[in-house]
Structure 1
Amino acid sequence: MGCCKSVINCENEVKPEEGKEENDLKGAEPFIRRGGRQKTVIRILTRQTIKCIVGHVSDHYNVKEIIGEGAYGCVRRVEHKATGVDRAMKTIMKSFVRLCEVKNMLLEVDILRKLDHPNIIKITEVIQDQRCYHIVTELCSGGELFDKIVEQEKFKEKQAARYMYQILSAVSYCHTNNVLHRDLKPENLLLVDHTKDSTLKVIDFGISRLTNYPSSPARKYGQPYYTAPEVFNGIFTDKSDIWSCGVILYIMLCGYLPFLGNKESQTIHQIINKEVEMPEKEWSKVSQSAKDLVLSLLDKDPYKRPHAMDALLHPWIQSNMHGISSNSYLDSVNNLINFRSRVKIQHATFEFIVSHLSTQQELRELQYAFMLLDMNGDGKLSREEIIKGIEKTNIKQLFDIEQVFEECDADGSDFIDYTEFLTAAMNWQITLTKKRLEAAFKTFDINGDECIDMNELKQMIGGTLDTEMYNEILKEADFNEDGVIDFEEFQKICTAVIK
């Protein structure tokens, strides 16, 4: 058993000078710092640690029904034996996969493990046996957006805008992290569940590329219907993904593709040469603001298309996002303010449970709360966004925004990322069960000797701290001072100071 590489670093963070007043708060009283502090930031990136197991799927999962099929294999629903959590497992037959496609698969895994966004599918582990590769991800049971479009024929503008907000937010986050998806289409957008307001997840990064990753000149685009005109000339940029978003929005508003020929070559010719048409029959009741956004996304000139972040701020998107609410918004914000987990092992375990062992049902309301706080849709929370979010509540307690970041910003990015928010906003009194602790402990106990030693701790927390720091982290939980952490010690340190 092994783990895909995690990233870790250590740096000094200098807090504001003495007497500096934080942003003026209305919902909560402002907190004035009474002295400068320095804090050593140990970056925890447990969510980026993906188990790469050589063995049998049946040792870890109960394999259930097929929920999707592709050119190289199928997708099944599986149940994690240790926790009972349902997952999706994409199986790829080795006999059908060439070496270059194996490299693409490994690149997809590497890309997905680094992306941390509420509207991007989360990968949990990879299992390899003699015949197959098995990629395990979170399960989305609501079906494809494509099927919902076929069922409803077209969406009301408010529904289309809210879906497009989620798509553009995910795309903007990808582009900020130098990832081009390159195959955006309704079939690669999954609904988390069957509820009316289900969120979307972008999936299938199989032909995605990092902007600094070499790409062959051969055909590397998805279905031509969603492909930008410049791609057929061998040019693919972030604006090419924006074109795909435009095609998806066009379909959601009228029910059919903007460019469709009798043959693929005719479709490509239309995409390159034909202007976008909006027939009166389907488009007469669509607002001018929605039409303007569609036309800007489908501009033939990629330089004139907006970036994803600019499209998110379009008046049509923003006006239709009003009225979204979350029943647990107040509880989530309150938990965020009061989160305390100074023990690194505890924090790393919480992140692992959120990333790998929690169900969509448990995360649903927290995801909505994150989206409400993330006002600009960039997939991360700034100090200003959190302060404004608190203003919307009736929380009156004193709080220190710098302390919130000190407790919650585990990777030292100066933002609270999605998983960091989930970790802090989760109700751990309910979520932290012995069963989940046992599953987390078994994951960290790589050699299976029923204890976590120094080498395993380094993989759990990260790998570039000096020996003294690792010793300090180990001592926090090694109560009997035998140089390792057994399950009893692990359980004790993880359940300490849970509010």
Structure 2
Amino acid sequence: MGACASKPPKPNPYAPRGVADDHAAPPTPLKDDVSSEKKSNSVSSFFPFYTPSPAFFLKKSPAGATPKGNSTPLRFMRRPFPPPSPAKHIRAVLRRRQSKKTAAAAAIPEEEEEVVELDKRFGFSKELRSKLEMGDEVGRGHFGYTCSAKYKKGEFKDQQVAVKVIPKSKMTTAIAIEDVRREVKILQALTGHNNLVKFYEAFEDTDNVYVVMELCEGGELLDRILARGGKYSEEDAKVVLVQILNVVAFCHLQGVVHRDLKPENFLYTTKDESSQLKAIDFGLSDFVRPDERLNDIVGSAYYVAPEVLHRSYGTEADVWSIGVIAYILLCGSRPFWARTESGIFRAVLKADPSFDDGPWPSLSLEAKDFVKRLLNKDPRRRMTAAQALSECLNFSNLIKLTIITIPKVPMVFCFTGHPWIRSYNNVKVPLDISILKLMKAYMRSSFLRKVALKALSKTLTIDELFYLKQQFALLEPNKNGYISLENIKMALMRNATDTMNDSRIPDFLASLNALQYRKMEFEEFCAAALNVHQLEAHDNWEQHARCAYELFEKDGNRAIIINELASELGLGPSIPLHTVLNDWIRHTDGKLSFLGFVKLLHGVSGRTIVKAQ
């Protein structure tokens, strides 16, 4: 979909050159000679359909000039066209299958099916021309274009706005029509957030749908990146990333996944350096509950998450895209690159981003750690947007916490928040929707697993407790320090928009009904909201687990027979219990072994145990 404000359309951009094959290249800038490309308006044969975004081309050095040490040359690019879906190769397979089915069906005489005409009526106002004076085109996207406009009357008289024009002729399927309807619904419900483009109203006529939004005249984030030569300082990158994380965490709380986060889809309201950044283009967005997975492949190739290519993903896919943007801001090049779309996908799935080339060696360890935690290929181990924001408050706030820890656990970087952006103040951390998912898993866990998680929660560091303390406070516990199902419902209502109902997040609370008849204190909340997979991603995970196991040995471990353990895990009688669970129990005293303890922490179920055999 087109951006709500941008530059006038330009000729086709130039494609990168200089990569010998499809495989992933190191995350270095594109550095072949581009002077010959500037003489032609044709697209390079290396990249006929897709232009990388952002693609950084080096300026041609003067003859005989020698590049300086590790300095990063100035980069530039021409404006990219929005890319097609990264599922092009999949669509080709589906078309071949469909053609075979059609040929087979043609061999069998059937009655002609009646062609159903699509209903392209949206119920929007048809008074566009009477209310708005349309201006020039300011941007063009894959599904439409954007014009400037001005209100002629009414509440917003003389207000300059942007109008996204979506031709109905491009809505060739019922799905396409529903996508437009959903985009308007999401924009209408989410508008009001400081970092989200303001929605005014929608119109339609026989030919088009018109979406009226805030006019952002400061240009794209991509333009600012290029103006800086493709590299931000750490402090400037923090300012950008905090705004992106803030709006994305808000969307995720409402049950909305954007699915196309990239520098082109963030606009500045004005050309001022301190201007606010606004997220735009929700044309590929969708609703998703914390326990649901999406399976359609959409987005832009360089920013697409590995789990999207595996066709099973949720809100974590947006966080991966933020990680790609963070990498680009800090070093001026893409973490994954190849000359073809399929090559990019292979790099995303198999390659690791490089942190060895300049300027990474000169950047802080915290900055590198921050990007690595966003670009973790396992979505379960990836930070959430709210977690990344959780330490934006001043570090001095930590002294107010009551620490629950033991001396054997060393002080390390947090697993659920990040110190790199801790110095960025005045950020209100939103409720993390992933907390509800973890609490649901905890409430459905066996008694033995709950005891194991409580033991692990007692080994948490200051940073981890800081994040959990924030989230617990957002649930507004009663004066005795407890929360119940009512607290969670009220917290959601305080943060809810209409999209929360569309994503059916309130229905998700049914899985927490056990809290209706009991209360949860902070210590148990820490166990319930603990993300074991994120802890496991850290180098010191085994030491953490060993310390937790020592506590478990003292407080919760007891002799247990295999049949009892099988009952705890929900294993049926048809499963060979001794073969599956033999290494879970110590033969000396019949208690849970360390291996069994760790598997229990991960929430291993009967289904996953059988699958692993």
User: TM-score band, normalised by the shorter chain?
Assistant: 0.5 to 0.7
Q: 8 Å contact 2:145–2:164 — kept in the other structure?
A: yes
Q: 8 Å contact 1:52–1:125 — kept in the other structure?
A: no
Q: 1:106 deviation in Å?
A: 0.6
| Secondary structure class of the residue paired with 1:75 | strand
Q: Which residue of 2 aligns with 1:187?
A: 264
Q: 1:139 deviation in Å?
A: 1.2
Q: Which residue of 2 aligns with 1:375?
A: 428
Q: 2:233 aligned to 134, 156, 171, which one? A: 156
Q: Which residue of 1 aligns with 2:126?
A: 55
Looking at structure 2, the residues matched to 232 and 122 of structure 1 have their Cα atoms a distance apart, in angstroms, of: 32
Q: 8 Å contact 2:199–2:213 — kept in the other structure?
A: yes
Q: 1:122 deviation in Å?
A: 2.0
Q: Which residue of 1 aligns with 2:308?
A: 231
Looking at structure 2, the residues matched to 302 and 68 of structure 1 have their Cα atoms a distance apart, in angstroms, of: 34
Higher relative contact order (CA 8 A, sep 6+): 1
Q: 8 Å contact 2:295–2:312 — kept in the other structure?
A: no
Q: Which residue of 2 aligns with 1:315?
A: 419
Moved more, 93-102 or 165-174: 93-102
Q: 1:318 deviation in Å?
A: 2.0
Counterparts of 1:290-305 in structure 2 under 5 Å?
A: 290-305=367-382
Q: Which residue of 2 aligns with 1:435?
A: none
Post-superposition Cα deviations, 1:304-349, rounded to whole Å, max 9, x if no partner, equal 1011111112211121x24xxxxxxxxxxxxxxxxxxxxxxxxxxx
Structure 1 residues 166 and 88, CA gap change in structure 2 (3 angstroms) = same
Q: Which residue of 1 aligns with 2:333?
A: 256
Q: Which residue of 2 aligns with 1:91?
A: 165
Q: 1:282 deviation in Å?
A: 1.9
Q: 1:64 deviation in Å?
A: 1.0
Q: Which residue of 1 aligns with 2:449?
A: none
Looking at structure 1, the residues matched to 240 and 286 of structure 2 have their Cα atoms a distance apart, in angstroms, of: 24
Q: Which residue of 1 aligns with 2:221?
A: 145
Post-superposition Cα deviations, 1:417-457, rounded to whole Å, max 9, x if no partner, equal 99xxxxxxxxxxxxxxxxxxxxxxxxxxxxxxxxxxxxxxx
Looking at structure 1, the residues matched to 179 and 495 of structure 2 have their Cα atoms a distance apart, in angstroms, of: 30
**Count of aligned pairs between the two proteins:** 287
Bigger strand share? 1
Q: 1:377 deviation in Å?
A: 5.3
Structure 1 residues 121 and 251, CA gap change in structure 2 (3 angstroms) = same
Instruction: Say yes or no: does 1:100 pair with 2:204.
Output: no
Counterparts of 1:390-469 in structure 2 under 5 Å?
A: 415=494
Looking at structure 1, the residues matched to 314 and 496 of structure 2 have their Cα atoms a distance apart, in angstroms, of: 25
Structure of greater Rg: 2
Instruction: Say yes or no: does 1:280 pair with 2:368.
Output: no
Post-superposition Cα deviations, 1:42-90, rounded to whole Å, max 9, x if no partner, equal xxxxxxxxx9643242211111121110123210111011210111100
Structure 1 residues 225 and 104, CA gap change in structure 2 (3 angstroms) = same
Q: 8 Å contact 1:297–1:305 — kept in the other structure?
A: yes
Q: 1:375 deviation in Å?
A: 3.1
Q: Which residue of 2 aligns with 1:136?
A: 212
Q: 8 Å contact 1:79–1:87 — kept in the other structure?
A: yes
Q: Which residue of 2 aligns with 1:486?
A: none
Structure 1 residues 223 and 67, CA gap change in structure 2 (3 angstroms) = same
Identity, % of aligned positions? 34
| Secondary structure class of the residue paired with 2:333 | coil
Q: Which residue of 2 aligns with 1:202?
A: 279
Looking at structure 1, the residues matched to 349 and 242 of structure 2 have their Cα atoms a distance apart, in angstroms, of: 27
Q: Which residue of 2 aligns with 1:241?
A: 318
| Secondary structure class of the residue paired with 2:358 | helix
Counterparts of 1:470-489 in structure 2 under 5 Å?
A: none
Runs of at least 5 residues in structure 2 that lack an aligned partner in the other structure:
1-121, 392-417, 433-468, 471-489, 498-613
Looking at structure 1, the residues matched to 380 and 364 of structure 2 have their Cα atoms a distance apart, in angstroms, of: 25
Q: 8 Å contact 1:128–1:134 — kept in the other structure?
A: yes
Q: 1:415 deviation in Å?
A: 4.5
Q: 2:142 aligned to 55, 71, 85, which one? A: 71
Structure 1 residues 215 and 417, CA gap change in structure 2 (3 angstroms) = closer
Letter of the structure 2 residue corresponding to residue 102 of structure 1: I
Q: 8 Å contact 1:52–1:126 — kept in the other structure?
A: no
Letter of the structure 2 residue corresponding to residue 199 of structure 1: Q
